[in-house]
């Protein structure tokens, strides 16, 4: 069986922007950073940037970045990031030739397909979604997907991460960290699992998301957490969310300039604080609905924006991060075609990390049915974007001559009986959900609609899949870390 990361390998990416276009956007963002500046509410980040040579106004918290300083700082981002699993089998190199897919962590509700209603999310949903994520073939990274309403607010993040560490051997991302104390606790937990703090600095078992605030602002607590992540060499997905027409100009170019400036400011702050800290250029960009002002995820504009931002990440030699979020309120036609379009686009551009599996309504609602459907969507798109071998062996010229014309000769033009055919068809993609059998057979099996099939699949996984749990002694020590931190 191929290594886990091999299933996510894709062809050389296409490009949308000309190099001159990228240069213009990059230079415009550097100009904004130098002349307008970025408001940074983190004193820790401001102090590090001031020491590095940035111009800091403590009254307004605005930091201005000399162009040469920005260039120097962003050049320190390492080029060989590997997102590690609990076991090396699940390691994921970020090299521009793989596309990985992750869950998202913004959910506050869960879709109940049986009653077709929503309910509040609870800790059991994190356990269940982690089990399904551990099982799914094309889900590469698990991020705790919901806020557990049955857990005290100050323990939301660590309780969710504890379940993730316990259940899945895949790489784990943390999204909802809201302060540096939570970051430090998660670092202690991960260090216990990999064998110590210094080992964690080398082996990136976890990564973390830090969002910018458009336009041109970095939040205080989240940026403080980013500095803590940087000290521990935890890769940070720097996620800009500029919205065309609201928090950026209503043009692609203007949106990209704002996003690029914010992202580079966070990168520069991390490098000023902890040179060599791994960073990922993340962007979940969107446009407004001109009728209501509401966010439009998976609109044509949003899909293109995220692809363009991915190219800007590559321009500054950083791995890229985006999303596959849908505005659909329920699992179904809208969620599937929006996620399908976004996934195919991201894979053709070779965007390294893409989040959003299983989430609805702008990543606020978890759907177990959507999780298994999205895994199928990703499998199909990865297969369509895989490398194609053209060789004497794969062309089968001798076989074509021997089999001949339809209806003529001893083989009647049929390749079905060829030994090579029997071997090669086993590599064809087969949906784990949907059948290609004739209508009569489908009808005889109960005429089940697609969401009923998806629910049965999710239920079967929860009943049948037994993850390789974290070592009991290590798990106990992780629990002790959580207890000690919560008492503070």
**Are 365 and 412 within one domain?**
no
Tell whether 55 is covered by a domain.
no
The reply to whether 22 falls in a domain is: no
Q: How far apart are CA 231 and CA 226, in angstroms?
A: 9
What is the CATH number for 309?
3.20.20.480
407: left (phi over 0), alpha (psi -120 to 50) or beta: left
- Residue 372's SS3 state is helix
Contact present, 130 and 142 (Cβ < 8 Å): yes
User: Do 328 and 411 share a domain, yes or no?
Assistant: no
Q: Which two tokens stand for residue 202?
A: 């080398």
CA angle 449, 454, 456 (to 5 degrees): 95
Q: What is the per-residue pLDDT for 105?
A: 87
Residue 206 shares a structural domain with residue 234:
yes
> Helix, strand, or coil here: 446?
coil
Task: Determine which helix (DSSP H) or strand (DSSP E) holds 103, and give its type and residue range.
Answer: strand 100-103
Backbone dihedral angles phi then psi of residue 39, each to the nearest 5 degrees: -80, 120
DSSP-derived 3-state class of residue 180: helix
Residues 6 or more apart whose Cβ sits within 8 Å of residue 75: none
Which pLDDT value is given to residue 386? 86
Q: Which of 350, 384, 418 is the last residue of a domain?
A: 384
Q: How many residues are given for the chain?
A: 488
pLDDT tens, residue order, the chain (488 aa): 358 999 999 999 999 999 999 999 999 999 999 999 999 999 999 999 999 999 999 999 999 999 999 999 999 999 889 999 999 999 999 999 999 999 998 899 999 999 999 999 999 999 999 999 999 999 999 999 999 999 998 899 999 999 999 999 999 999 888 899 999 999 999 999 999 999 999 999 999 999 999 999 999 999 999 999 999 999 999 999 999 999 999 999 999 999 999 999 999 999 999 999 999 998 999 999 999 999 998 899 999 999 999 999 999 999 998 888 899 999 999 999 999 999 998 899 999 999 999 999 999 999 999 999 999 999 999 999 888 999 999 999 999 999 999 999 899 999 999 999 999 999 999 999 998 889 999 899 888 999 999 999 999 999 999 999 999 999 999 999 999 876 65
Residue 31 contacts residue 70 (beta carbons within 8 Å): no
Element (H, E) at 360: strand 359-360
All residues at 6 or more sequence positions from 160 whose CB lies less than 8 Å from its CB, including other chains? 105, 123, 126, 144, 146, 148, 151, 176
The predicted pLDDT at position 1 comes to 36
CA–CA distance, 334 with 168 (Å, rounded to integer):
30
Cis peptide before 18 (omega within 30 of 0): no
Among 455, 466, 375, which residue's Cα sits nearest to residue 131? 466
Secondary structure of residue 349 in the 3-state scheme? coil
Q: Is residue 462 part of a domain?
A: no
Is the same domain home to 93 and 209?
A: yes
In a domain, 301, yes or no: yes
- 402 with 375, same domain? no
The total number of structural domains in the chain stands at 2
Residues 353 and 409 in one domain: no
Whether 192 and 79 map to the same domain: the answer is yes
Indicate the SS3 state at residue 309. helix
Q: Please check whether residues 402 and 333 belong to one and the same domain.
A: no
Whether residue 62 is contained in a domain is answered as no
Pair 378, 397 in one domain? no
Is 342:85 a contact under the CB 8 Å cutoff? no
Residues 248 and 201 placed together within one structural domain of the fold: yes
Task: Measure the CA–CA gap between 338 and 346, rounded to whole angstroms.
Answer: 12
Spatial separation of the C-alpha atoms in residues 437 and 430, rounded to whole Å: 12
Token reading at 188: 């202690």
Say whether both 120 and 150 belong to one domain.
Answer: yes
For 222, left (φ over 0), alpha (ψ -120 to 50), or beta?
alpha
Residue range of the domain that includes 399: 392-427
Task: Based on the fold, state whether residues 278 and 396 are members of the same structural domain.
Answer: no
pTM: 0.95
Question: In the prediction, which pLDDT does 488 show?
Answer: 59
pLDDT at 61: 98
């Amino acid at each position: 069986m191929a290594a886990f990361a091999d299933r996510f390998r894709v062809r050389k990416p296409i490009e949308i922007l000309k190099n001159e276009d990228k240069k213009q956007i990059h230079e415009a963002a550097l100009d904004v950073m130098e002349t307008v500046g970025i408001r940074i509410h983190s004193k820790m980040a401001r102090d590090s940037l001031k020491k590095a040579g940035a111009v800091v106004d403590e009254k307004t918290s605005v930091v201005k970045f000399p162009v040469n300083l920005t260039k120097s700082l962003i050049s320190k981002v390492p080029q060989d990031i590997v997102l590690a699993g609990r076991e090396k089998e699940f390691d994921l190199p970020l090299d521009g030739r793989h596309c990985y897919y992750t869950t998202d962590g913004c959910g506050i509700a869960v879709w109940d397909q049986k009653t077709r209603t929503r309910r509040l999310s609870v800790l059991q949903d994190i356990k269940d979604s982690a089990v399904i994520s551990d099982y799914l073939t094309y889900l590469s990274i698990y991020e705790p997907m919901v806020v557990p309403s049955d857990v005290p607010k100050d323990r939301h993040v660590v309780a969710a991460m504890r379940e993730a560490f316990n259940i899945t051997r895949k790489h784990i991302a943390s999204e909802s960290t809201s302060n540096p104390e939570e970051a430090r606790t998660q670092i202690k937990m991960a260090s216990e699992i990999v064998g110590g703090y210094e080992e964690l600095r080398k082996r990136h078992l976890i990564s973390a998301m830090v969002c910018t605030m458009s336009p041109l602002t970095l939040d205080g607590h989240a940026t403080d957490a980013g500095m803590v992540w940087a000290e521990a060499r935890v890769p940070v997905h720097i996620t800009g969310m500029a919205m065309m027409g609201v928090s950026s100009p209503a043009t692609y170019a203007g949106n990209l300039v704002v996003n690029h400036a914010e992202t580079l400011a966070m990168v520069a702050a991390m490098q000023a604080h902890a040179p060599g800290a791994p960073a990922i250029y993340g962007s979940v960009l969107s446009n407004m609905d001109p009728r209501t002002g509401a966010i439009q995820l998976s609109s044509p504009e949003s899909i293109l924006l995220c692809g363009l931002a991915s190219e800007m990440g590559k321009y500054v030699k950083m791995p890229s991060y985006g999303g596959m979020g849908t505005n659909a309120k329920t699992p179904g036609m809208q969620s599937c075609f929006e996620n399908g379009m976004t996934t195919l686009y991201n894979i053709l551009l070779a965007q390294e990390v893409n989040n959003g599996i299983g989430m609805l309504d702008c990543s606020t609602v978890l759907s177990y049915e959507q999780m298994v459907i999205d895994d199928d969507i990703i499998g199909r798109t990865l297969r369509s974007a895989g490398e194609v071998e053209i060789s004497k062996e794969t062309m089968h010229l001798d076989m074509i001559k021997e089999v001949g014309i339809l209806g003529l000769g001893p083989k009647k033009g049929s390749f079905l009986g060829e030994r090579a055919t029997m071997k090669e068809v086993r590599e064809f993609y087969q949906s784990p959900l949907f059948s290609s059998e004739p209508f009569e057979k489908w009808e005889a099996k109960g005429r089940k609609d697609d969401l009923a099939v998806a629910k049965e699949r999710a239920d079967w996984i929860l009943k049948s899949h037994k993850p390789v749990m974290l070592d009991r002694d290590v798990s106990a020590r992780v629990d002790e870390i959580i207890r000690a931190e919560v008492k503070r």
